[in-house]
Structure 1
Amino acid sequence: MQTDPDRHREKMAKIKAARDRMMETRTGEKGLIIVHTGAGKGKSSSGFGMILRAIAHGMPCAVVQFIKGSWDTGERRLLTRNFSDLCQFHAMGEGFTWETQDRERDIAAARAGWEKAKELIRDPAIQMVLLDEINIALRYDYLDLAEVLEFLAAEKPPMTHVVLTGRNAKPELIELADLVTEMTLVKHPFRAGIKAQPGVEF
């Protein structure tokens, strides 16, 4: 069915006017606490997309990876080889918890990652910090949730953005955050016997 061009223009003009009125009231700026969680794929990918967007704007940023550790990931290659002047990259984890099978070692790695994260977030020159898979460390109580929440609420500089990824984000973190996105799993090739592949998963 074809839409009458005049009716379409009139409809779009009304939508634009309403949108413009709404945008006039959105004038505030602040450093956001952003959570990407859920069972679906794309949490880390989205976080790294935000880091690349920050780099494109010339914004100094940093990444702390809490789980993936020594994995040779595409995002790590890209950032360390091409953007090390604008983005610090710290892989602090030692692999997934079922690989290390050593709770004390996992806790020590998570604590080291959190100490580095606090240092980076406190740095007023850094405008965005990605805490990749920190939700996993919080889920397994490798980090104290109350400490993380208190730090973000009290010590994060007003204009610094902090992105926290990983499934099973704690409700208290979701409550504190300014922006929360939940990735929903609809279909995944792993369930059909397809392994993790470069460029898609890492």
Structure 2
Amino acid sequence: MQAGASSRRKVRAKPALPPALEPGLRGRVHVYTGAGKGKTTCALGLCLRALGHGWPVLLVQFDKGFDGENEHYAERRVLRGIPGIDLVPTGCERMNPDGTFRFGCEPRDVEEARRGLAAAEGALREGRHRLVVLDEALSAVMVGLFGKEEVAALLDLHAANPVAELVLTGWNAWPELVERADLVTEMRKVKHYYDTGLGARPGIEF
């Protein structure tokens, strides 16, 4: 190699962030997954912290609907009164009149999940929110409300306009999602009182 050839060698420049954001300002992708308790709780704590900084927050909850009468998730009674957070609960009532739980996915459940996806897509395109939480999005994939490809499309939107911090929660994060995320936390169950027969308790589980 001739002297000085190395100085003429082309150096591949690092790709610019799509909206020319500085690395410290670019929103990252979080995944909170695993069989242990705490995924939604962790995401709600992040919402509170973001609101404390004056960030606009979008919280989309999948398969945790509200029929206008029976509010099963007490945190939403508080969240509705906090300025700065847009709350989008989706899903149909799963408690039957006789007190049993309705399992499975019906067309109305899928339609509700699509409504949540549309809200998330709109927020990521618009870029007004600094934190976007998709609570139980992974669980929605697991039960068949929508597919991994819909989640991948949301990640593509975020990559094109990474203004918001994007958080996804739920069971069974798949390898491609883990690869694309910037932060993955797995809640591992070491011990749980459910295994002793104790059921969900108000103020703790809902």
Q: 1:175 pairs with 174, 179, 183, which one? A: 179
- Which whole-Å deviations, capped at 9, do the CAs of 1:152-187 have from their partners, x for residues lacking one? 124452221111001112221111111000000011
- Residues 69 and 95 of structure 1 are in contact (CA less than 8 Å); yes or no, is this contact kept in structure 2? yes
Correspondence 1:184 to 2:179: no
Q: Which runs of 5+ in 2 are unaligned?
A: 1-22, 96-100
Deviation of 1:99 (Å): 1.6
Corresponding residue of 1:73: 73
Aligned to 2:143, which of 133, 140, 144? 140
How far off its partner does 1:92 sit? 0.7
Scaled by the length of structure 2, the TM-score of the pair is 0.77
> 1:134-162: CA deviations, max 9, x gaps?
10111233213123213312445222111
Distance in 1 (CA, whole Å) between partners of 2:94 and 2:190 is 23
The answer for the alignment partner of 1:47 in structure 2 is 43
Query: Which residue, 119, 126, 135 being the options, matches 1:116?
Result: 119
User: In 2, distance between residues paired with 1:48 and 1:95?
Assistant: 22
Describe the SS at the equivalent of 1:185. Answer: coil
Distance in 2 separating the partners of 1:35 and 1:105? 27
1:94, distance to aligned residue in structure 2 (A)? 2.0
Instruction: Tell me, in whole angstroms, the C-alpha distance in 1 between the residues paired with 2:158 and 2:191.
Output: 39
Give the partner amino acid of 2:185: T
With 85-94 and 36-45 compared, the bigger mean Cα shift is at 85-94
TM-score under structure 1 normalisation? 0.79
Q: How many residues align?
A: 174
Q: Quick one: which of 113, 127, 131 aligns to 2:130? A: 127
- Which of the two has greater helix per residue? 1
Q: Tell me which residue corresponds to 2:87.
A: 89
**Structure 1 residue matching 2:36: 3-state secondary structure:** coil
Alignment RMSD (CA, Å): 2.0
